A and B are shown apart, each in its own frame.
Chain A
Amino acid sequence: MIMKRLLLSAAALALSAGMAQAQYSDNKVKIGVLTDLSGTYSDLAGQGSVEAAKMAVEDFGGKVNGTPIEVVSADHQNKADIASSIGRKWYENEGVDAIFDLVTTAAAVAVREVSREKGKIDINSGAASTVLTNAQCSATGFHWTYDTYALAVGTGTAVVKQGGDTWFFLTADYAFGQSLQAQTERVVKANGGKILGAVKHPFPNSDFSSFLLQAQGSGAKIIGLANAGSDTINAIKQAKEFGITQSGQKLAGLLVFISDVHSLGLDTAQGMQLTTGFYWDMDDGTRAFAKKFGARMNGKMPTMVQAGVYSSVTHYLKAVQAAKTDEGIKVADKMRELPIADFFAKNGKIRADGRMVHDMYLAEVKKPSESKGPWDYYKIVRTIPGDEAYQPLAESTCALVKK
C-alpha cells in the first residue's frame, strides 16, 4: 500500500515536471456517507443522504478532471464507537477521501477525531452541536447545514416574542441536546424570558410520560423539546395524548425536520414554528432538486440534512477540481476560498472555524386547510440572515480562529 503510494507519487512527480498534473490518491476520488441507516434519524438523513450524495456526483459528471468519483455508505447506528471504527477503516484501508452527513453529534465528534488525525475532510450536515465549530473544530472539518445556535436564535426568539416567556426543557441526554438546551436558554433569557426547569431523557427514548408530567407540573407556558427525530415525534404525540397541548401549554420543537412533520401529520403539527436551513418549495432551483430527489425516494421530499449533503458534496468536488488534488488540507483551503452559490445556499461562505454561513428560515407549519398537496407543509415566516443566525466568529472557542 505504502509502496504503491510512493510509486504513484513518484510517477506523479515525474509527470508534473512537464505539466501541472492533477494528483488523486488511488486514482479515485472516494467519498463516504456515514449516517444512521436503521435508527431514530434514518428518516431525516439515512438513505436519503446517500441518494443525495449520489445525485451530486452524477450531476457533477461522475468524474473530477478525468478521475472517477466513487460513493460508499455505511450505518453508524448513532454510536460513537461504530462511527469511529468505520471512519478509521475507510481512511486507512479503503482510500476514502472525505466523509459526509454524520448525523448524531456523538458520532460526528468521533469521526472528527479520526479525520483530524488523518488529515482528511469531514463535512457535517446531520449533526447539530456547535461543539464541532468550537472545541472540536479542525482545519479539515466543516459544519454545513445548521447548528444548535441557529436553531435557538430562530425558534427561541420567535416564541418568546409571541409571549412564550416561561420555559421547561425536555432534553435528549447527550452533547446535542445539552448544547441545544443551553443555547436556547441563553436566547430566552436575553429576550426577557424565564427558565423554570429541565429534564433529561435517555436517547433514543419511546416513553415520555414521566418527563411530560414533570413538564406539565412546572406550569411553564412553553415546553421546549431539545431533541430530534423520533424522540421529538414521540414527545409531541404523547403530549397530545396527555392533553398537555389542549390545556394551554405549548410545545416548541427546537429541531423539527420536514420528515417529522410528515410523520406527525398537519393535524398534530399545525401552527408549530421551527427553524430550518432549507425548504423544498421555495424557488425553481429547490423545486427542481426536490423533484429529482422525490423520483428516487418514492416521492419523499428532501430534508435540510439531505439537501445539505448534496450541496456539501458538490462544493467538495468543486474544490477537489480546483485544487487538482484530493489531499485534505489543500482541498479544505480551496473550500474556504470558493463561494457557495447553489439552490441550497445562495450566498454561503465558510469561516475559519469551519462553519458554512448561509441564510436560515423561520417556518410555520400550515393548517390542513392551507396545504395544497402532499409535502406542502411550511410557510416561510422570516428569512434569518446568516450572520445573525450563526454564532459570531468572535465568540468561537475554536483554536483556529485568530483573535
Chain B
Amino acid sequence: MTTVTSTSSRAVSPQLLLVLVLIVLAMIAPFGIYPIFLMKGLCFGLFAAAFNLLLGYVGLLSFGHAMFFGFSAYVTAHAAKEWGLTPELAILAGIATAAVLGAVTGWLAIRRSGIYFAMVTLAFSQMMYFVAVQAPFTHGEDGIQGVPRGHLFGLINLNDTMTMYYFVLAMFVASLLVIHRIVTSPFGQVLKAIRDNEPRAISLGYQVDRYKLLAFILSASLAGLAGSLKALVFQLASLTDVHWHASGEVVLMTLLGGVGTVFGPTVGAFLVVAIQNYLSEVGSWVTIIQGSIFVVCVLLFRSGMIGVMTPWLKRRGITG
C-alpha cells in the first residue's frame, strides 16, 4: 500500500494514515485482548478477504471455499507433524495444495456462472470433505491434533503466543497488501470489467476465462494460507474447516462486512468470530443470533458495515 500511495501523493494521505493507525492498533491489541481470539479473527479475516477477491471483484460466488481453507490446514498440519517441516515450508505446502485444488476446481467451475458456478464449487467441496472423512492421514473425526508450531526459518520460536501473533499479523497485512495490489492493478481493472459486463470485456478482446481462472487460483491460495495459519495457531486441523458450514460462514462474514471492500471481510470475520467466542456458553443459540444479525444486515444495510460507511469515508477522502 505504501508504494501505491507514495506514487500518487507525496504528503501523507488520510488513507495511509488510517492504515498505519490500524496496524499500530493491531500491534498493541494483544496486550488488552486475548491473543488467540485475535489470531482466530485474523485467520478468518484473511479467509474472508480471499473469498471477497472472487465475489467482490469478479462477481463469482463460490460455495466451496472451505475445501481450500480446510485442506491446506490438513496438509500443513500433516507436513509439520509427520514430516517435521519448518512452519514456513509447511505453510507453503498448504498453499500449494490449495492452489492445485483451486486450479482444478476453477478450470471446471468458471465455465458456468451464477447458481451453477456455486453448485459446481459446492460439489467439489463436498467431495473433498468426504476425502477428508475417509483418508487415513486426516484421522477422520479426531483430526490432526498436537501440531507443532515449530521454529520459523529454524530460528524464531512460534510456541510463544505473542511471537505467533505477530507472525500471523505480518502474514495478514502482507496478504491484504497483495489483495489491494491485485485489485488496483490493470489485472484487477479487467476483473472488475468482467464483473460489471462480461460480454463487453470479451468484445474488447480479453480472454475472460483466463482472468477468471487466475483470480480463482489466487483466491484459493490466499484461503489456503488462512487455513495453514489457523492449523498452526490452534495446533489442530479438523473436519470443521472443510465442512460446508465453513463455506457458508465465509459468505456470511463477507456480506456482513461489505462485499468488494478491502477491510469489510475482516470486520465481518471479527464480528462472527466474536459472536462465536463470547457467546459459546449459550450453546446452539449462537447460530440463531448469527442468523438474526444476518437478516437485520440484509434488511438494513445491504452493502455491509464497511459498505455503508464507504460514502461517508469517501467524503472525507479516506478511501479512494
Contact = CB atoms under 8 A, between A and B. Distances in A.
Interface residues of B, number: 24
B145 A110 contact: yes
A84 B236 contact: yes
Interface in B24-73: 34, 36-37, 40
B36 A92 contact: yes
Interface stretch (B174-182, B250-258, B278-286): B278-286
Given A85-B234, A173-B140, A80 B34 contact: no
A162 to B, nearest CB: 33
A194 interface: no
Nearest to B36: A88
Interface in A169-195: 173-175
B242 to A, nearest CB: 11
B196 interface: no
Contacts of B236: 80-81, 84, 110
B106 to A, nearest CB: 27
Contact of A81 (B140, B238, B277, B280): B238
Contacts, number: 67
A89 B39 CA distance: 13
Interface in B217-275: 234-236, 238, 240-241
A329 interface: no
B278 to A, nearest CB: 10
B36 A175 contact: no
A56 interface: no
A105 B139 CA distance: 13
Most buried by A among B37, B133, B143: B143
A47 B161 CA distance: 33
Nearest to A106: B142
B141 interface: yes
Nearest to B241: A81
B40 A85 contact: yes
Contact of A173 (B133, B143, B235, B284): B133
B150 to A, nearest CB: 14
A82 B280 contact: yes
Contacts of A93: 34
Contact of B140 (A75, A84, A88, A174): A174
A352 interface: no
Nearest to B159: A117
A274 interface: no
Given A75-B283, A81-B238, A92-B34, A109 B142 contact: yes
B143 A81 contact: yes
A105 B142 contact: yes
Classify the secondary structure of A's interface with B.
helix
B283 A203 contact: no
B146 interface: yes
A336 interface: no
Contacts of A12: none
A81 B146 contact: no
Given A92-B34, A173-B133, A174-B141, A113 B146 contact: yes
Given A84-B234, A85-B234, A86-B280, A79 B34 contact: no
A37 B161 CA distance: 30
Contacts of A80: 141-143, 145, 236, 238
Interface in A52-105: 73-75, 79-82, 84-86, 88-89, 92-93, 105
A134 to B, nearest CB: 14
Contacts of B34: 89, 92-93
A170 B236 CA distance: 28
A81 B69 CA distance: 15
B141 A175 contact: yes
B19 to A, nearest CB: 29
A38 interface: yes
A114 B36 CA distance: 13
A89 B143 CA distance: 20
Given A74-B280, A75-B280, A85-B234, A106 B141 contact: yes
B258 to A, nearest CB: 27
Nearest to B40: A85
Contacts of B142: 80, 105-106, 109, 174-175
Interface string A121-138: 000000000000000000
A265 interface: no
Given A110-B236, A113-B146, A85 B36 contact: yes
Interface of B: 34, 36-37, 40, 133, 139-143, 145-146, 161, 234-236, 238, 240-241, 277, 280-281, 283-284
Given A82-B280, A92-B36, 6 more contacts: A75-B281, A80-B236, A84-B234, A89-B277, A174-B140, A203-B141
The 10 closest A-B CB pairs, nearest first, are A174-B141, A75-B283, A106-B142, A38-B284, A81-B238, A113-B146, A38-B283, A175-B142, A80-B238, A80-B143
Interface of A: 37-38, 73-75, 79-82, 84-86, 88-89, 92-93, 105-106, 109-110, 113, 173-175, 202-203
